Amino acid sequence: MPELPEVEVTRRSFADRIAGARIVSATMGKPLRWPLGMEADALGGRQVLAVRRRGKYLLLDLSEGLLLVHLGMSGSLRFAGLEEAALGEAGKHDHFDLQTTRGLLRLHDPRRFGAVVYVPSQQDALARKLLDHLGMEPLEASFTFEAFREGLSARRTPIKQLLLSGSVVVGVGNIYASEVLFIAGIAPTMPAREVGPRKLRALHEAIRVVLAQAVEQGGTTLRDFSAANGMEGHFQLQAKVYGRDGLPCTKCGSPIQLLRQGQRSTFYCARCQKA
């Protein structure tokens, strides 16, 4: 599932190339998770002003309105500029084409859990329903230790599951949650409010560092993720615990353990991450 680093990598791979383009046409394929909210043809003539990100949503600011794009569980975007080879006819799993004066943006989504939604503005009721509950952005200056500590202070939820919820800080998906908890030496099952100040500060720093590194590495490609320019991610090559169950811990040599939390796999070292 594309997480914040993958979505940010996707944004960076086409944002500058599509900014300023005028929409020539838009085409919807099979139904996605949510309807577009307008006739696709009505997007024609509008200009793409910028591409932003909020959590795992890409926000395409238009000269009139806003497109919210979510990649779901298996989605990816491709952008082919006018100087590049064409993407060809839409295939079975291509469900949204945005043809612009600077190239074609296409959403490929085999499982169709992704979405492209039009709203008049970010203050629209639907936009607020999708975005307003999201936690702090970990790569922005507003993600301070004090705010992070306050968000966790009264929560009894196991720290791993709270990170995954995105209610305190967005973007710490399953892979990254296992990694940052290992770096901070925190047991994934520990209630959030019981994490001591020293380890909590280490966790805050680990979240910032690991997600920034993941973006620089192009995200994580386990199956089929790639950016809008076709490049795959490489963060998985430096994972310290994720996917390494049974292998020796890089710190102490003990075998990495695997447990299930909320139907998600958690990888950790029982010796380095004592409860």
130: tokens are 């999708």
256 and 33 Cβ atoms separated by less than 8 Å: no
- Cα end-to-end distance, the chain, whole Å: 28
175 and 160 Cβ atoms separated by less than 8 Å: no
Q: What is d(CA 70, CA 61) in angstroms, rounded to the nearest whole number?
A: 15
- Reported as type and span, the H/E element at residue 246 is none
Q: What is d(CA 269, CA 146) in angstroms, rounded to the nearest whole number?
A: 28
Q: What is d(CA 158, CA 5) in angstroms, rounded to the nearest whole number?
A: 23
Phi, psi (deg, nearest 5) at residue 98: -120, 100
Q: What is d(CA 269, CA 258) in angstroms, rounded to the nearest whole number?
A: 9
User: SS3 of 76, please?
Assistant: strand
Active-site amino acid positions:
2-3, 56, 264
